[in-house]
Amino acid sequence: MHDEVRALARNQHNGTPPEPVASIVARFRAHQATVGIMGLGYVGLPLACTIARKGFSVLGFDIDASKVDQINAGTSYIGHIASDEIADMRKAGRFAATCDFSRLGEVDAIILCVPTPLTRHREPDLTYVTQTTESIAPYLRRGQLVVLESTTYPGTTRDVLRPILERGGLRSGRDFFLAYSPEREDPGNAQFSTAAIPKVVGGEGPEALQLACALYDEVVSRTVPVTSLEAAEAVKLTENIFRSVNIALANELKTVYEAMGIDVWEVIEAAKSKPFGYMPFYPGPGLGGHCIPIDPFYLTWKAREYGVVTRFIELAGEINTAMPQRVVDRTIEALNERQRKASKGARVLVVGIAYKKNVDDTRESPAFKIIELLEKRGAEVSYYDPIVAEIPPSREHAEFTGRRSVSFGESSISAFDAVVICTDHDSIDYAKLVEWSPLVIDTRNACARGGVSGEHIVKA
């Protein structure tokens, strides 16, 4: 079977008329299509599971052989996805994974879920997108739908993906169909699973849009079609810039109110009682995850091409980027004032290494920057995280790879001069943490929310 598919891909220009769009739509509607997912990380794996759960056959592609082996063995490597779920789909024959990109000829739709990081100069790094698209191009066949879900600047799908996919002679809108649908994952949010979140869809032409909507209509609660690829790309950036700007405002208000002796957390709680015209956003130790700290800079970079300066977005980025330094400054100040200790030689425990509560995802976590800054000031830093037992490899802080969490107990916690709460996992016993610690720096208001108080708790 695989040999026949590969032969079809190699002979994609043999003059065979393309399959009518209506018949492809019908196959999507009947759940008789096979969907290929490129990239099986925090976006790709939940999407693959969701599509398979809806009755489609799913073939996942990844260059990481360990991920492929785990999926095919029926096990999960992401905390909020149960191994039993993957095992059940494997037994039903609806989900398989491979490193063999030549099997792309077997699928009816190809969805790209690969990272779009920034360079050290805060410019878009489309390496994963371009390399993945180049891997698809040799096996692209007539009638396939190709969808990019990775967050990027407007114009990427049309100007970057399409030329690569058309190198072999097939044409978008005639031989294959190109669409963009931004991922909207919120890891650890049980209320909004992948299937429950509406999907924005933009296509290159009406037939591509029709096909993309036909597929996602069967997978998610609702599709939201827009008029172009660029509009769909802009939607994702707008969503994340909205969050970035409002979080920056909350961080700035925290600084202002702190100088006035006002608790910003109390103010936000009272303000959100207003049933209109206000939406609560909360301060923190800095932004984390793959979206909010990165995506706004994709637009600022693209805007320069049009001679537009994005002052508001860049100011928000500056405020949020400065928060880890502010946490470190407050920690050193508290050590001096309350413990009569200098930062050099002080033992500091960072609590929570994940970028958000109740997940094992450490991408862009502000805790890494806080550890880095504390260690530059001479502190001896360890971490505790009930979900992340060992720090995985990362691009920005490879030197932390392999560090392991300390145990949670009175003897281990009380050995530290200060504890800095960076991530407020629900499973942490904050009462015990405060009881055992001589100094607690709380960046998330976790203690107060848990009804825990103490003179040695400092909000930062």
Residue 439 has pLDDT above 50, yes or no: yes
Sheet holding 380-384, edge to edge: 380-384, 347-351, 418-421, 440-442, 457-459
Tell me whether residue 19 is in a domain. yes
CB of 347 closer than 8 Å to CB of 420 = no
Average pLDDT over residues 208-219: 98
Query: How far apart are alpha carbons 308 and 298 in whole angstroms?
Result: 13
Higher pLDDT, 119 or 260: 260
Structure letter (DSSP) for residue 137: G
291 is known as an active-site residue: yes
Query: How far apart are alpha carbons 103 and 323 in whole angstroms?
Result: 46
Residue 49 has pLDDT above 60, yes or no: yes
Tell me whether residue 232 is in a domain. no
Is there a single domain that holds both residue 187 and residue 278? no
Tell me whether residue 233 is in a domain. no
Instruction: Give the pLDDT of residue 110.
Output: 98
- Provide the token pair at 306: 């049009």
Is there a single domain that holds both residue 303 and residue 222? no
Is there a single domain that holds both residue 279 and residue 200? no
Q: Which domain holds residue 8?
A: 2-227
**How much is the mean pLDDT over the chain?**
93
pLDDT band at 17 (very low <50, low <70, confident <90, very high): low
| CATH code at position 21 | 3.40.50.720
Residue 2 has pLDDT above 60, yes or no: no
Is there a single domain that holds both residue 263 and residue 220? no
Is there a single domain that holds both residue 118 and residue 211? yes
Of the listed 113, 291, 422, 447, which one is catalytic?
291
Listed residue (157, 217, 204, 307) closest to 33, CA to CA = 217
pLDDT band at 19 (very low <50, low <70, confident <90, very high): confident
Is there a single domain that holds both residue 218 and residue 258? no
| Burial (0-12, 13-18, 19+ Cβ within 10 Å), 84 | exposed
pLDDT band at 379 (very low <50, low <70, confident <90, very high): very high
Q: Count the domains in the chain.
A: 2
pTM: 0.90
Give the model confidence (pLDDT) of 335-371 as tens digits.
999 989 999 999 999 999 999 999 999 999 999 999 9
Tell me whether residue 376 is in a domain. yes
- Provide the token pair at 431: 């009462």
Structure letter (DSSP) for residue 18: P
Is there a single domain that holds both residue 326 and residue 411? yes
Show the beta-strand stretches assigned E in 218-320: 223-225
What residue has token string 């869809």?
A: 201
Instruction: Give the pLDDT of residue 189.
Output: 77
List, in order, residues 6 or more apart from 76 with CB less than 8 Å away.
Answer: 45, 70, 82, 83, 85, 86
Higher pLDDT, 377 or 122: 377
Residue 150 has pLDDT above 60, yes or no: yes
Instruction: Give the pLDDT of residue 16.
Output: 60
Tell me whether residue 147 is in a domain. yes
Average pLDDT over residues 303-325: 94
What residue has token string 């001896």?
A: 380
Instruction: Give the pLDDT of residue 396.
Output: 82
Tell me whether residue 235 is in a domain. no
Q: Return the number of other C-beta atoms located less than 10 Å from residue 325's C-beta.
A: 13
Instruction: Give the pLDDT of residue 192.
Output: 86
Give me the percent of the chain exceeding a pLDDT of 90.
87
Is there a single domain that holds both residue 293 and residue 438? yes
What residue has token string 């450490």?
A: 362
Instruction: Give the pLDDT of residue 139.
Output: 97
Average pLDDT over residues 412-432: 97
Query: How far apart are alpha carbons 51 and 395 in whole angstroms?
Result: 30
Instruction: Give the pLDDT of residue 9.
Output: 46
Is there a single domain that holds both residue 76 and residue 219? yes
Is there a single domain that holds both residue 175 and residue 279? no
Cα angle, residue 186 at apex, residues 184 and 190 outer, rounded to 5° = 125
| 210, 227, 244 - which closes a domain | 227
Q: For residue 132, report the phi and psi dihedrals to the nearest 5 degrees.
A: -65, -40
Tell me whether residue 372 is in a domain. yes
Give the model confidence (pLDDT) of 52-111 as tens digits.
999 999 999 999 999 999 999 999 999 889 999 999 999 999 999 999 999 999 999 999
Listed residue (367, 369, 371, 409) closest to 388, CA to CA = 367
Instruction: Give the pLDDT of residue 55.
Output: 95
The pairing of beta strand 418-421 with beta strand 440-442: parallel
Is there a single domain that holds both residue 278 and residue 192? no
Is there a single domain that holds both residue 288 and residue 173? no
